[in-house]
Chains A and B, each alone.
Chain A
Amino acid sequence: MGEKNLLEIKGLNVVYKVEDGVVYAVNDLNLVVHNKETLGFVGETGAGKTTTAMSIMRLIPSPPGKIVGGEILFNGEDLLKKNQRQMRAIRGQDISMIFQDPMTSLNPSMRVDDQIVEMLRLHKPLNKHAAKEEAHKLLETVGIKRERASDYPHQFSGGMKQRVVIAIALACNPKLIIADEPTTALDVTIQAQVMDLMRELKDRLDTSMILITHDLGIVAEICDTVAIMYAGGVVEYASKEQLYTKPCHPYTLGLFNSIPKLDVDEEWLEEIDGLPPEPTEVIQGCPFSPRCPKCMEVCRERKPGATYVEEGHYVRCFLFEQQDKEGGEDV
């Protein structure tokens, strides 16, 4: 794309040590986020989406979690080599996060404008008065009137709380926002409002965003590129146009087919047989092979590398490696 990489994750491995053994949450994950780009991060429960996001923020609870390998380059600097003080300066300032549940991510005993002031004064040399003014401006940007700015979170509805969370995330003009299922807890009409707001703000402020979601509909609306996660790794990565016109990985196809469609009448939904693998198992071959309708012998023996089917579109699947002899190199 020619644009600079804002974030580059190389060979990330994250494990959780639990009673029953070791949970391999993220396995050899590679990912790039360019400037001003919105990346959709799609996968089922337990695919490792949130763990990856938490690793970028260095917020993996440790113990039991541990980042055992890899690099996370943000503007060329490895976040995994930063100490706690340096990380605190980055969180909120350069990278900020929007969590899934607006009901629990705000402090219930603090007025909403004070929660923004707290963030602003942590990173910017502002006095109380100026910070408050700035907070009210931010709240207006996300559509909350001044007269409500000094209310407490419980006086707000779910959609409005999420607007406050977005205002906090935007407070210091971060370069990257990680939004972890930002609308999952909201009703559809409110979800539409919040997505609309996020799209507008991101265009105006030129921020990059990682949007974690399980909803391929939301991805179609707001993302530029998409990474499909399965069992702790990216199985397919493409631009939105490429993914929606030509999905390649059998898992991606399965995902698309299992969504009930509004515009087509169909008697039965296509199912993917079975369940995602237990994250405590060490899998030798392709992690999707036990459920894959096109599973071959080689799939059970070793893990597929990334094969480019087009520029900017790679897939980890042996089906495509055969067609493209140069494939197989790691990204």
Chain B
Amino acid sequence: MSEKLIEVKGLKKYFKVKAGLLHAVDDVNFHIDKGETLGLVGESGCGKSTTGRTLIRLIEADVGEILFDGQDIRKLDKRQLKAFRQNMQMVFQDPYSSLNPRLSIFDLIAEPLMNISEYARDSKRVQERVEELMDTVGLSRRLVNSYPHELDGGRRQRVGIARALSVKPGFLVLDEPVSALDVCIQAQVINLLKRLQQQLDLTYLFISHDLSVVKHISNRIAVMYLGKIVELSDRNTIFQKPQHPYTKALLSAIPIPSIHVNRQRVILKGDVPSPVNPPDGCRFAGRCPYVQDRCRKECPELREVEPGHFVACHF
């Protein structure tokens, strides 16, 4: 298809904790094409946020390559990285805690611009750019001197998006950008993100635990479980022909707002096990309804079952 913008190879991130090593991200491989949205889904603690953050080096990975347009960004030094960050930005989950409450909306959106030399000493251009950005994300200009606490969640998230867009990045990591919002507001922000992607030719990594939202916005979807990608495919395949038992269970657990659907539910037993010192073998073996002896001994690799559809399961 088109060219790869991001390519991740063998990414690992372990955290040292009292009880041992927490395998947050364990040998993750994927790529994102230019202009596409890759959805990353999974339950709390599966490593999806850590993956997103290591990707733009907010957290340093332990092992692996992160290629951005063919360039390994893990090899950049501090100064190069600072300049490179213009290409990749992040929108955070909680619009209540990710904005400095003591800065006005103008200052919040202008802040990232101060790192770019062409804006640094030109207050008129900053002013223009801020107004342009506010129009782009649908914030009324009268809010320019307001403070975050005066805005509702949806508008705050628009400020977060405007900040991320201010330096004209090509790639955005969206970490649960709509999870804290009500459904109606959620729909507004999702539509905004899709519109922006088309207008500005953006590439997204969309992290969420909400499968219906991910399905709506993504081209391809990766399902994570305990630090590993267990299934990756284009969105329709994931929803129509899920292969991995975890994906199947996850899909059947979503409550559907209709009374006319009959479906077989797979209710998983037990909780997600701790990612600290995980056992050998398949991470899902403890909860899998089809578990075999082999699953407990060998960890299945992600393999291609049909073109573009990857599954990590022995069966």
A254-280 interface with B by 8 A CB criterion: 254-263, 265-272, 275
B256 within 8 A of A: yes
Asked whether B216 lies within 8 Å of A269 as measured between CB atoms, the reply is yes
A221 within 8 A of B: yes
Given contact pairs A188-B43, A262-B215, A268-B191, A214 touches B183 in the complex (Cβ within 8 A): yes
Asked whether B239 lies within 8 Å of A262 as measured between CB atoms, the reply is yes
B194 within 8 A of A: yes
User: How many Cβ-Cβ contacts under 8 Å join chain A to chain B?
Assistant: 110
Asked whether B183 lies within 8 Å of A189 as measured between CB atoms, the reply is no
Given contact pairs A220-B258, A254-B184, A189 touches B191 in the complex (Cβ within 8 A): no
Asked whether A260 lies within 8 Å of B259 as measured between CB atoms, the reply is no
User: How many Å lie between the Cα of A154 and that of B257 in the bound state?
Assistant: 34
Asked whether A244 lies within 8 Å of B258 as measured between CB atoms, the reply is yes
Stretch with Cβ within 8 A of B (4 or more), from A53-61, A79-87, A93-101, A192-200: A192-200
Selected contact of B212 from candidates A240, A241, A260, CB within 8 Å: A260
List of B residues within 8 angstroms of A241 by Cβ = 259
A324 within 8 A of B: no
Most chain A CB within 10 A, of B44, B182, B272, is at B182
Residue on B nearest A270 in the bound complex, by CB: B187
User: How many Å lie between the Cα of A190 and that of B253 in the bound state?
Assistant: 9
A73 shortest CB reach to chain B, Å: 30
Selected contact of B216 from candidates A44, A187, A266, CB within 8 Å: A266
Given contact pairs A187-B272, A271-B188, A192 touches B265 in the complex (Cβ within 8 A): yes
Asked whether B190 lies within 8 Å of A218 as measured between CB atoms, the reply is no
B105 shortest CB reach to chain A, Å: 17
A149 shortest CB reach to chain B, Å: 17
Given contact pairs A217-B256, A217-B257, A188 touches B183 in the complex (Cβ within 8 A): no
Given contact pairs A160-B271, A270-B187, A260 touches B253 in the complex (Cβ within 8 A): no
Q: A189-B268, A215-B257, A220-B256 are in contact. List 17 more A-B contacts (CB 8 A).
A: A157-B271, A159-B271, A187-B44, A188-B254, A189-B249, A189-B250, A191-B253, A192-B252, A193-B267, A220-B259, A240-B259, A244-B258, A254-B184, A258-B187, A260-B215, A267-B194, A271-B184
List of A residues within 8 angstroms of B188 by Cβ = 271
A267-303 interface with B by 8 A CB criterion: 267-272, 275
Given contact pairs A187-B272, A190-B271, A193-B267, A256 touches B184 in the complex (Cβ within 8 A): no
Q: What mask results when residues 169 to 186 of chain B are scored 1 for a CB within 8 Å of chain A, else 0?
A: 000000000000011111
User: How many Å lie between the Cα of A236 and that of B128 in the bound state?
Assistant: 46
B70 within 8 A of A: no
Asked whether B211 lies within 8 Å of A188 as measured between CB atoms, the reply is yes
Asked whether B183 lies within 8 Å of A193 as measured between CB atoms, the reply is no
Asked whether A216 lies within 8 Å of B257 as measured between CB atoms, the reply is yes
Residues of A near any B CB (own CB < 8 A): 44-45, 157, 159-160, 187-193, 195-196, 214-221, 240-241, 244-245, 254-263, 265-272, 275
B223-256 interface with A by 8 A CB criterion: 236, 239, 249-250, 252-256
User: How many Å lie between the Cα of A217 and that of B253 in the bound state?
Assistant: 11
Residue on B nearest A44 in the bound complex, by CB: B182
User: How many Å lie between the Cα of A244 and that of B187 in the bound state?
Assistant: 20
The 4 closest A-B pairs by CB, nearest first: A217-B255, A258-B187, A260-B216, A216-B257
List of B residues within 8 angstroms of A217 by Cβ = 254-257
Given contact pairs A188-B209, A260-B215, A262-B239, A44 touches B256 in the complex (Cβ within 8 A): no
Residue on A nearest B194 in the bound complex, by CB: A268
Asked whether A261 lies within 8 Å of B212 as measured between CB atoms, the reply is yes
List of A residues within 8 angstroms of B268 by Cβ = 189, 192-193
B139 shortest CB reach to chain A, Å: 13
List of A residues within 8 angstroms of B154 by Cβ = 275
User: How many Å lie between the Cα of A159 and that of B253 in the bound state?
Assistant: 14
User: How many Å lie between the Cα of A17 and that of B261 in the bound state?
Assistant: 45
Asked whether B261 lies within 8 Å of A269 as measured between CB atoms, the reply is no
List of A residues within 8 angstroms of B213 by Cβ = 260
User: How many Å lie between the Cα of A241 and that of B259 in the bound state?
Assistant: 7
Selected contact of B209 from candidates A159, A187, A218, CB within 8 Å: A187
13 CB contacts below 8 A, A to B, read A45-B182, A187-B44, A191-B255, A192-B252, A193-B269, A244-B259, A258-B183, A259-B257, A260-B187, A262-B211, A262-B256, A271-B191, A275-B152
B184 shortest CB reach to chain A, Å: 5
List of B residues within 8 angstroms of A45 by Cβ = 182
Selected contact of B43 from candidates A189, A214, A245, A255, CB within 8 Å: A189
Residue on A nearest B188 in the bound complex, by CB: A271
List of B residues within 8 angstroms of A218 by Cβ = 255
Given contact pairs A262-B212, A270-B187, A195 touches B258 in the complex (Cβ within 8 A): no
Given contact pairs A188-B209, A269-B216, A256 touches B257 in the complex (Cβ within 8 A): yes
B34-89 interface with A by 8 A CB criterion: 43-44
User: How many Å lie between the Cα of A192 and that of B194 in the bound state?
Assistant: 30
Asked whether B184 lies within 8 Å of A195 as measured between CB atoms, the reply is no
Given contact pairs A196-B267, A214-B182, A219 touches B190 in the complex (Cβ within 8 A): no
Residue on A nearest B195 in the bound complex, by CB: A268
User: How many Å lie between the Cα of A263 and that of B254 in the bound state?
Assistant: 12
List of A residues within 8 angstroms of B18 by Cβ = none
Most chain A CB within 10 A, of B154, B269, B271, is at B271
Given contact pairs A217-B255, A262-B212, A268-B191, A44 touches B271 in the complex (Cβ within 8 A): no
B16 within 8 A of A: no
